[in-house]
Chains A and B, each alone.
Chain A
Amino acid sequence: MQRIRLLLVDDHPLFREGLSRLLASEPDFDMVAQCGTATEGLQMLGRFDVDVVLLDFDLGVEHGNQFISSARQSGYAGKIFMVTAGMNATQSSIALKLGASGIILKTSSPGTLAKAIRLVAHGEIWIDQKVIQQMADRALQGGEHVLPSTLTEREDQVLHGVFEGLTNKEIGTKIGISEDSVKTTLRYLFRKTGAQTRSQLVRIALEGSFHTNKGG
């Protein structure tokens, strides 16, 4: 049976030591080295043959994605498996884009971790369900951001109410919607523009940041 050679890069000594001993007890794993920084990890890659790098994202002043870039640039062609306490959707996307073969959370059970390492070593991709959920949510939010400068008809009406100096209630009465709907629309306008107040919103609108749907 061909053993899977592992390198563990994690800045948390207790976790690193514990996981090393745990994985070393698996019959098909060979823990060739472990270290706490990206720099040391890159040195280890030059010194040992490694099939899978188990990589934490947070490495003190460095982060895992920097390690992946450097490792790929230095010619490392093996697998890199993120073992992390948590990464946000952007970080996960970048890690996968840079060449990570998967992401697993440290909170996963040891059995799941061992199973995932084996799959990754054999060329599969393993991404934790929570990470997938985060990326999917972010993709949906990103979809809303694709056209931040385009206003819907209602946003346009509300914005014009703000231009006229009307209160939320007056805007609602004028365009036939509730005050709460006006507030919701305004909140969305604030989110789109980064404005915190009506006066900031007016300025941003006048600077031509918006394109209305009806040319108003």
Chain B
Amino acid sequence: MGRILRFLQKTPRTVLTSAAILIAVIVLVDWRNPVNAYFGFLYVFPMLLVGTILSWWQLSLIAVFCTILSEIFDPFPFVPATAVPQDILLFIALAGMGLFSRESAVNRRLEVENRRKVEKEAAARREAEEQLEFLIQTSPVAILVMSAGGEILIANSAAGHLFRVGGGELVGRNISRYIAALGRVPSVEQTSHTFRTEMQGRGTRENGDTFPVNVFFSTYETALGPRLAALVVDASEDLRDRAEYGLEQLMAGSRILVGAVSHEVRNVCSAIAVIYENLARSGDFGRNQDFEALGSLVEALKQIASLELRKSTTGSEAKVLDLSEILDEARIVLEPYCAESDIEVTWDIPGSLPSVWADRHGLLNVLLNLAKNSRRALEGAHLKRIDLSVTAEHRIASIRFCDTGPGLSSVENLFEPLQKGADATGLGLFLSRAFMRSFGGDLRYDAGAPGCCFVIELAIAGNEEE
């Protein structure tokens, strides 16, 4: 039956033709039949056929048509008293069979369609599950799924590697043994809050070694109960890298600070030494022992302040860096910082910028220091804006940092340390310039521009041979 229905669904024209032929045969049998018998019931078969493809009103018309044919070609004379009820009954029977056939066909079609849909969905689900399984198993990040009680239900190979547990042995164990903090996360049954967050914690390997971890986790509900899914990353290497980098930065910053202060001390010592020499040449102090001691003290201080000169570098180590990348990072740092004070920041940066000699950390510090100064200067300003623009020419990349503040009343001692009247520590510009110079760049004030405008200069990489 199913096969027939599938065939009929595909070829409605064939169905109609078959029904027409069947009706013609019945008519012929009814007409030429020598036996005085009633064959009207045979119209049930063409009705069953057309019921698979026609609508209810089309079926009604065909039932009427078949009833009329039956009445015309049956061997009995037309007697209204008996023929009319008989025809009505025949019509009802034919229409009923047609509608029954139609309903069966529709249901069958729906069933087939549903089965196809379910099969398609099952295939898609199988494919997705395979991909997900592949993704989980090949992930460099440890992936774990736990039950409400903390029992590990799924663990990929990276998780086994992370906790130093052999293949598949993690499943069934409790997560508290490996990451205690995860074992304390309440399930969705225990709290109305769901978690979708990250935390830094401490992990424990199978052999008892502990290590820092970054955990990204979420809680959710499934038909089988509450679940906790977690991605776990070993942060040991990054922690070490960051600590070492931090130390390097601290040392570099300290060298720059010491270098800058030593520079100032050398200036003063040199002035004292020159004045001392003048006094010595005047002969007024003769063999005065205090005067000679003063000379020795100045000389000793000069030696101390010159220690830093013996080092080949005075601070940061310049690297070839992508200027666009540094400016992207600066944008991430500066824009939210300025937005807190309703300061608009505009960026005029060419699409293509060269690589420069710089120290990433140092340069970002300088930009942040300039932004801090501008934020103070713009506190009472009507128009609060910082304009950053970049140009690259003559082997120098210049970052202009201008604000719409009132500008500076005096720039004479701008880059000197601990100035009187400085709003903050009085070291910002002094150190910023020292930072810039430590990697071959410079920081200067552009007196000609409106507001307050500084220019950061960086040597473009790739021109060393020139």
Contacts and interface: CB of A to CB of B under 8 A. Distances in A.
Interface of A: 12, 14-15, 18-19, 21-22, 25, 58, 60-63, 85-86, 88-91, 105-107, 110, 130, 133-134, 136-138, 141-142, 145-146, 148, 164-165, 167-168, 186-187, 190-194, 196-199
A165 B309 CA distance: 42
A146 B464 contact: yes
Given A61-B445, A196-B245, A134 B274 contact: no
Given A60-B415, A88-B314, A107-B266, 7 more contacts: A22-B278, A85-B267, A86-B263, A91-B440, A137-B313, A168-B237, A194-B319
Nearest to A149: B320
A197 B442 contact: no
A85 B261 CA distance: 11
Nearest to B244: A187
Contacts of B263: 58, 85-86
Interface of B: 140, 158, 234, 236-238, 241-242, 244-245, 259, 262-264, 266-275, 277-278, 281, 302, 305-306, 308-310, 312-314, 317-321, 360-361, 411-416, 437-438, 440, 442, 444-445, 447, 459, 464
B237 A148 contact: no
B437 A88 contact: yes
A165 B140 contact: yes
A148 B462 CA distance: 11
A168 B444 CA distance: 43
Interface of A, secondary structure class, is helix
A167 B312 contact: no
Nearest to A186: B241
A198 B266 contact: no
Given A15-B267, A60-B415, A88 B438 contact: yes
A168 B310 CA distance: 35
Given A18-B271, A22-B274, A148-B319, A60 B464 contact: no
Nearest to B459: A90
Nearest to B412: A60
B465 to A, nearest CB: 9
Nearest to A163: B140
Contacts of B266: 85-86, 105-107
A137 B312 contact: yes
Given A22-B277, A60-B413, A90-B440, A198 B271 contact: no
Contact of A25 (B264, B281, B309, B310): B281
B441 to A, nearest CB: 9
Contacts of A88: 313-314, 437-438, 440
Contact of B275 (A18, A134, A165, A193): A18
B274 A60 contact: no
A145 B270 contact: no
12 contacts: A58-B263, A61-B444, A86-B314, A106-B267, A110-B273, A136-B312, A141-B317, A164-B140, A165-B140, A167-B236, A196-B245, A198-B241
Instruction: Give the 7 A-B CB pairs with smallest separation, nearest first.
Output: A137-B312, A106-B270, A18-B274, A90-B440, A15-B271, A14-B271, A85-B266
A88 B271 CA distance: 21
Given A12-B267, A133-B312, A191-B319, A91 B437 contact: yes
A88 B67 CA distance: 113
A69 to B, nearest CB: 11
B460 to A, nearest CB: 13
A173 B107 CA distance: 68
A73 to B, nearest CB: 14
Contacts of A136: 312
Contacts of A86: 259, 262-263, 266, 308-309, 314
Contacts of A192: 319
A131 B24 CA distance: 118
Given A85-B267, A148-B320, A142 B312 contact: no
